[in-house]
């Protein structure tokens, strides 16, 4: 399989910007090779519905500008519908666990949460920021808008907060052993 195919698969799975250095580490290649693979992938995607978006040493898969009016329709539909079980699970993790990374959310839920996180961010329920401990990743936190919707002013106001946090921390510790 070509390097560009592996890059495409990783970008699709991540669902968010990935540093070129991280791609190099994951694929066991030099950054120069990754950049060449990204160039090949970019050419492959030229007349398709996806494009590569590059910024400050990171790259992600995005939609082609020609498809924007259709994408806006889909996003509008997403905004108008209920967040569903996946959204509720993800919100509960972010609310009760606090600032947390996508990897932790995926681990707890047992599935890729990229699409769900994107939907929650679009709805203004979750905020994403650069992880201060690892600038190559993001952390997700509840938005002030979510607190307003729930009628609370801080995480500790959530039902049975202390009990839930203890159980969550114990479960995570048990899984590390």
Specify the CATH number of the domain 82-176.
1.10.10.10
- Helix, strand, coil percentages in the chain from 3-state DSSP, rounded to 5: 60, 20, 20
pLDDT tens-digit profile, the chain (177 residues): 899 999 999 998 887 788 999 999 999 999 999 999 999 999 999 889 888 888 888 898 888 888 878 877 776 766 566 778 888 889 889 988 889 999 999 999 999 999 899 889 988 889 999 888 888 889 999 988 887 777 776 777 777 767 766 665 665 566 555
CATH number 1.10.10.10 is the correct assignment for the domain at 3-66: yes
Nearest 5 degrees, angle CA 93-CA 62-CA 43?
145
Query: Residue 75: its pLDDT value, please?
Result: 67
d(CA 62, CA 168): 35
d(CA 89, CA 94): 9
Query: Residue 171: its pLDDT value, please?
Result: 57
149: Cα within 13 Å, side-chain hemisphere = 11
Residues of the chain with CATH 1.10.10.10: 3-66, 82-176
Q: What is the pTM of this model?
A: 0.53
């Amino acid at each position: 399989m070509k390097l560009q195919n592996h890059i495409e698969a990783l970008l699709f799975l991540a669902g968010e910007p990935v540093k070129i250095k991280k791609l190099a580490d994951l694929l066991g290649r030099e950054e120069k090779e990754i950049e060449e693979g990204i160039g090949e992938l970019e050419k492959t995607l030229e007349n398709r519905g996806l494009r590569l978006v590059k910024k400050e040493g990171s790259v992600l898969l995005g939609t082609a500008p020609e498809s924007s009016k259709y994408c806006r329709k889909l996003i509008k539909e997403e905004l108008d519908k209920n967040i569903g079980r996946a959204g509720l699970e993800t919100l509960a993790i972010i609310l009760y666990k606090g600032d947390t990374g996508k990897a932790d959310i995926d681990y707890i839920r047992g599935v890729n949460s990229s699409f769900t996180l994107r939907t929650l961010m679009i709805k203004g329920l979750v905020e994403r920021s650069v992880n201060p401990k690892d600038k190559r990743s993001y952390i997700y936190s509840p938005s002030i808008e979510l607190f307003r919707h729930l009628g609370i002013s801080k995480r500790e106001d959530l039902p049975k907060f202390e009990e839930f946090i203890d159980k969550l921390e114990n479960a995570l510790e048990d899984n590390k052993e």
